[in-house]
Amino acid sequence: MPLVPLLAIGLMLGPVAAGLWGTVLPAFGQMRVIGEFESPLEPFRILFNWAGLPKAVTLSITTGIGATAISLMIVSLLMAGWSGTRQFRLIERMLSPLLSVPHAAAAFGFAFLVAPSGWLSRMISPVLTGWDRPPDVLIVQDPAGLAMMLGLIIKEVPFLLLMSIAALSQSQAQSSITIAQALGYGRVTGWLKTVFPRVYHQIRLPVYVVLAYSMSVVDVALILGPNTPASLSVQIVKWMSDPDLQMRAVAAAGALIQLALVIGALAFWRITEIIAAYLGQRWITAGGRGKCDSIIGVFALFSAFVAALAIILGLLILTIWSFAGFWGFPEALPDQLTFRNWARHGPGAWQAFGETALIASVVSGIALLLSIGCLEAEHRHNVQFTRRTVWLIYLPLLVPQTAFLPGIQSLMLGIGAETGRLPVMIAHLVFVFPYVFLSLSDPYRAWDIRYATVASALGATPNRILFRIRLPMLLRPVLTAVAVGMAVSVGQYLPTLLIGGGRIETLTTEAVALASGADRRAIGVFGLMQTGAALLPFALVLIVPNILWRQRRGLRHG
Amino acid sequence: MDKGLFLRNLEIFTKHDRLISVTHDIAPGEVLTVMGPSGVGKSTLLAGVIGTLSPDFRMVGEIWLDGVNITLLPPRLRKIGIMFQDDLLFPHLSVGQNLAFGLKPGGTRADRAAKVTAALNEVGLEGFEARDPATLSGGQKARVALMRMLLSEPSALLLDEAFSRLDATLRAQVRDLVFQRAKDRNLPVLMVTHDVEDARAACGPIIDLGRQSGSV
């Protein structure tokens, strides 16, 4: 096997494996630096004595499975009712920007919308509600984790939708739905019975990623999740930063429980898939044509619309807060707009922006080189990537971050390694590379290979073909892959916090750190900057190829 | 006499069966036409000759070009030009840059520019150097693709359904142009087509893979 793919797999799986090892050791009291325990199971004993454990475990399961199931349902019904229509094309166009909004910024915006003193409540008060002060109800950070689940759903719907659209293009959906409708099936029922099985087969791994992520997310949980107790992942991070080093062993034990929970949930999901497939086949052969298809279709479109609107209005309210002067409760808008907030928080935000941009650029640049190396090796050496290799690429996204990142930190502590920027970059690469690779691989493989045949018949070497023909022609997908990578890097919270030892301050760590306070103006500034840092590369993707190829009609519109 | 493109006991196999078997000497200036329905392995034969055969196939036998055994050479060293039904002009390069890409390295900038200009003049495209390939008509693109290939000074020429995208009148024009240029340069030509007119215009031997079920 050629060198680059091996290097890429090593760089991805190495940290995951090392991190898991670094979690197992202290969890069983086997790491000297962290302290000595009377028995190897002492960390687990302390963990099981923590009164919040049952609640934290339940939260992880309900929010994870709930967010995944509801997102998948919205996406499936939306595609069933609307794919191929004008409305759907509008949604498709909004997808990339919605997708690149970092989780933390979307969660802050959502909180500012729905909180008792949030924008929605202000807009209908006091006229409709009679409230002249915020009602005393716990909407955000509710004990059942509903706000956290909704906050995850508004971000996972665009992700699953993008994956489904990619899968849809390979499945000749339109002819299937035409035939189903000719046989008298309703649109939604016909789609679910003929197209959905094929699409789901292709988006299974992304669905698993959403499940693992939603169960173990930290930044969204800190912003929208309950505090008493917090979700398991948040508690693990709290233990990791406890001044008492022994608590890291308890965190490691918690991380193993978290890992077991995710594995259990994935197994549960797989069993549900099998049952659903069995029931689905009976449903298909029963021949029902569907009764309330149009109602379901409208419901799905409405849900997707609300999800998109929640992100867009969230960004709007972040913007307003970042410029807000005095803003008393039932007022719908602040008394005055001012640049004071930006003057106060701007310099810090710009400094964090610099750190964020540096890390994101270097990491996505390396991820791009590795991806091109892998894809080019596949082309030159005819290495066929099997389904199993695709699993390898998804693996770092399936292992919960809280299960192996604490382990890396403990290992680094164990060997006395310095935390800092370089380790943070390596940790980011673990999560950035899969997305860059997945984003680039389809257009790279779809490139008409006869261009290479013609060029080599003209005497060009493989490298000349790569640099003079293939990469320039693929400029747009290459830049898109870099932008995806940068957005992923910008949004990383836990790797930056844990591997950076709290000393690497990016827009995301700074913004999430503000969650415990109530300074909405500061959050507005940092949340906007964070969104801007993730969106800017996508804007460049739209502009740069059009400038470079302004004289080349064949390349101007992708 | 060892000038020409010689296919010696060339056989291509799929995992289970023999797909094609060809033995033929193509003399300089001669056009060998390979016909047959789609799926019979015409394009696979060309891929074998030019050196881009997919690993799903296995080839035995030898290919000789002007006295050199090129069977195991990489595509770029075989000195065989190819034209497909699509022009495949590189869309990010101007017409002139496309031609310069085909031109052998070496020479001053002025020399190279002069060669490109001469090539364009030869096919009636004076002043097209800076044009975007996407703005050219079908016939103009085909002429640029032909000259790009000829500038690389190949010793043989393969045509893979090269005229099938052009309409009837244009088709005859471009076909005559290609055959004429090949004859002028004494190039052996291997043409794959499903069009009887193409075969007739080539005035050379014809292999019908469909009728002979492989063996020639």
> Mapped to the 3 state alphabet, what secondary structure does A97-128 carry?
HHHHCCHHHHHHHHHHHHCCCCHHHHHCCCCC
Do A552 and B134 lie within an 8 Å CB cutoff? yes
Ranges of H-type helices in B95-167: 95-102, 109-122, 138-151
The residue with tokens 């090796």 is A377
Mean pLDDT of B167-191: 93
pLDDT-based confidence at B15, cuts 50/70/90? Answer: confident
Do B76 and A553 lie within an 8 Å CB cutoff? no
Name the residue type at position B57.
Answer: F
Please tell me if residue B192 touches chain A, with a CB cutoff of 8 Å: no
- CA-wise closest residue to A522 among A343, A279, A264, A274: A343
**H or E stretch covering A195:** none
Ranges of H-type helices in A241-382: 247-286, 293-323, 340-381
- pLDDT value of residue B61: 95
Chain B: residue nearest A464 by CA? B101
Chain A: residue nearest B105 by CA? A459
Which residues, including other chains, have CB under 8 Å from residue A286's CB and lie 6 or more apart? none
CA pair distance A307, A284, nearest whole angstrom: 30
Q: Give the mean pLDDT of chain B.
A: 91
* pTM given for the model: 0.90
Please tell me if residue B124 touches chain A, with a CB cutoff of 8 Å: no
CA pair distance A218, A493, nearest whole angstrom: 8
B-chain residues within 8 Å CB-CB of A554?
Answer: 91-92, 132-134
- pLDDT value of residue A410: 84
Please tell me if residue A451 touches chain B, with a CB cutoff of 8 Å: yes
Please tell me if residue A296 touches chain B, with a CB cutoff of 8 Å: no
Tell me which architecture the domain covering B5-92+139-212 has in CATH: 3-Layer(aba) Sandwich (3.40)
Quick one: A368 exposed, middle or buried, by C-beta within 10 A (0-12, 13-18, 19+)? buried
**B35, β-bridge pairs:** B208
Do A469 and B78 lie within an 8 Å CB cutoff? no
CA pair distance A90, A71, nearest whole angstrom: 19
Q: Which of the residues B58, B90, B131, B148 would you substitute to probe the A interface, choosing the one with the greatest number of A C-beta atoms within 10 Å?
A: B90
A1-30+338-558 and A58-229+252-318 share one CATH topology? yes
Across the A:B interface, residue pairs with CB atoms under 8 Å apart total 73
Which residues, including other chains, have CB under 8 Å from residue A463's CB and lie 6 or more apart? none
List the structure tokens of B130.
Answer: 């800076």
- 3-state SS, A202-257, equals HHHHHHHHHHHHHHHCCHHHHHHCCCCCCCHHHHHHHHHCCCCCCHHHHHHHHHHH
**A498, β-bridge pairs:** none
Phi, psi of B159 (to 5 degrees): -125, 115
* CB crowding A504-525: b at 16 or more within 10 Å, else e: bbbbbbbbbbbbeeeebbbbbb
pLDDT-based confidence at B212, cuts 50/70/90? Answer: low
Q: How far is B74 from chain A (nearest CA, A)?
A: 9
- CA-wise closest residue to A9 among A465, A374, A328: A374
List the structure tokens of A454.
Answer: 């013609």
The residue with tokens 């409208």 is A298
Q: How far is A458 from chain B (nearest CA, A)?
A: 5
Q: How far is A464 from chain B (nearest CA, A)?
A: 10
**B22, β-bridge pairs:** B10
Instruction: Note if the bond before A126 is cis, omega within 30 degrees.
Output: yes
E strand segments, chain B: 5-13, 18-26, 31-35, 58-65, 68-69, 80-83, 156-160, 189-192, 206-208
Q: Please, what sign has the CA dihedral across residues B90, B94, B99, B100?
A: negative
- CA-wise closest residue to B116 among B103, B104, B106: B103
Do B92 and A382 lie within an 8 Å CB cutoff? no
**B26, β-bridge pairs:** B5
Please tell me if residue A447 touches chain B, with a CB cutoff of 8 Å: no
pLDDT values of chain A reduced to their tens digit, one per residue, 558 residues: 578 888 888 888 899 999 999 999 888 887 777 777 778 888 999 999 999 999 999 999 999 999 999 999 999 999 999 988 888 888 888 888 898 899 999 999 999 999 988 999 888 888 888 888 888 888 888 999 999 999 999 999 999 999 999 888 777 788 888 888 889 898 999 999 999 999 999 999 999 999 999 999 999 999 999 988 899 999 999 998 888 888 989 999 999 999 999 999 999 999 999 999 999 999 999 888 888 888 999 999 999 999 999 999 999 999 999 999 998 888 889 999 999 999 999 999 999 999 999 999 999 999 999 999 999 988 888 776 666 778 888 899 999 999 999 888 888 887 877 778 999 999 999 999 999 999 999 899 999 999 999 999 999 999 999 999 999 999 999 999 999 999 999 999 999 999 998 889 999 999 999 988 879 999 999 999 999 999 999 999 989 988 888 888 888 764
Displacement of CA A442 from its chain's centroid (Å): 20
Phi, psi of A18 (to 5 degrees): -60, -40
B-chain residues within 8 Å CB-CB of A457?
Answer: 50, 75-76, 78, 80-82, 149, 152, 154
- CA-wise closest residue to B91 among A217, A551, A394: A551
For domain A1-30+338-558, the CATH class is: mainly alpha
Please tell me if residue B109 touches chain A, with a CB cutoff of 8 Å: no
- CA-wise closest residue to B21 among B59, B53, B70: B59
**B206, β-bridge pairs:** B33
Using CA atoms, how far residue A79 sits from A91, A163, A195, A382, in Å, is 11, 12, 10, 36
- The DSSP annotation for A399-431 comes to S-HHHHHHHHHHHHHHTTPPPSHHHHHHHHHHH
- CA-wise closest residue to A162 among A65, A245, A91: A91
Do B76 and A460 lie within an 8 Å CB cutoff? yes
Q: Report chain B's C-alpha Rg in angstroms.
A: 17
Beta-carbon neighbour count of residue B195 at 10 Å?
16
- pLDDT value of residue A95: 87
Chain A: residue nearest B52 by CA? A453
Conformation bin of residue A517: beta by default, left when phi > 0, alpha when psi is -120 to 50: beta
Which sequence spans correspond to the domains of chain B? 5-92+139-212
- pLDDT value of residue B104: 87
CA pair distance A264, B140, nearest whole angstrom: 63
B215: which DSSP letter?
A: B
Question: Among partner residues B86, B104, B133, which is closest to A459 by beta-carbon distance?
Answer: B104
Quick one: B31 exposed, middle or buried, by C-beta within 10 A (0-12, 13-18, 19+)? buried
Beta-carbon neighbour count of residue A183 at 10 Å?
11
Do B84 and A450 lie within an 8 Å CB cutoff? yes
Question: Among partner residues A382, A458, A553, which is closest to B152 by beta-carbon distance?
Answer: A458
Please tell me if residue A471 touches chain B, with a CB cutoff of 8 Å: no
Do A453 and B90 lie within an 8 Å CB cutoff? no
Q: Which of the residues B43, B65, B70, B76 would you substitute to probe the A interface, choosing the one with the greatest number of A C-beta atoms within 10 Å?
A: B76
Phi, psi of B8 (to 5 degrees): -110, 110
Which residues, including other chains, have CB under 8 Å from residue B140's CB and lie 6 or more apart? B125, B128
- pLDDT value of residue B169: 86
CA pair distance A482, A491, nearest whole angstrom: 14
Conformation bin of residue B207: beta by default, left when phi > 0, alpha when psi is -120 to 50: beta
List the structure tokens of A531.
Answer: 């969104």
Mean pLDDT of B125-148: 94
Q: How far is B164 from chain A (nearest CA, A)?
A: 16
Question: Among partner residues A454, A460, A554, which is closest to B82 by beta-carbon distance?
Answer: A454
Please tell me if residue A453 touches chain B, with a CB cutoff of 8 Å: yes
**Is B113 strand, coil or helix?**
helix
Which sequence spans correspond to the domains of chain A? 1-30+338-558, 58-229+252-318
B-chain residues within 8 Å CB-CB of A382?
Answer: 54-55
Please tell me if residue A383 touches chain B, with a CB cutoff of 8 Å: no
Do B152 and A382 lie within an 8 Å CB cutoff? no
CA pair distance B142, B165, nearest whole angstrom: 10
Counting residues of chain B whose pLDDT is more than 70, the rounded percentage is: 97
Do A457 and B78 lie within an 8 Å CB cutoff? yes
**H or E stretch covering A34:** none
* CB crowding A382-420: b at 16 or more within 10 Å, else e: eeeeeeeeeebbbbbbbbbbbbbbbbbbbbbbeeeeebe
Q: Report chain A's C-alpha Rg in angstroms.
A: 25
Does the domain spanning A58-229+252-318 belong to CATH 3.20.20.140? no
Question: Among partner residues A451, A456, A555, which is closest to B76 by beta-carbon distance?
Answer: A456
CA pair distance A224, A214, nearest whole angstrom: 13
CB A356 within 8 A of CB A533: yes
Please tell me if residue A472 touches chain B, with a CB cutoff of 8 Å: yes
- Asked if pLDDT for residue B214 goes beyond 50, the answer is no
Using CA atoms, how far residue A138 sits from A114, A214, A224, A311, B17, in Å, is 10, 22, 11, 21, 72
Do B149 and A551 lie within an 8 Å CB cutoff? no
**B65, β-bridge pairs:** B5, B68
The residue with tokens 């595509």 is B75
CA pair distance A37, A254, nearest whole angstrom: 16
Conformation bin of residue A184: beta by default, left when phi > 0, alpha when psi is -120 to 50: left
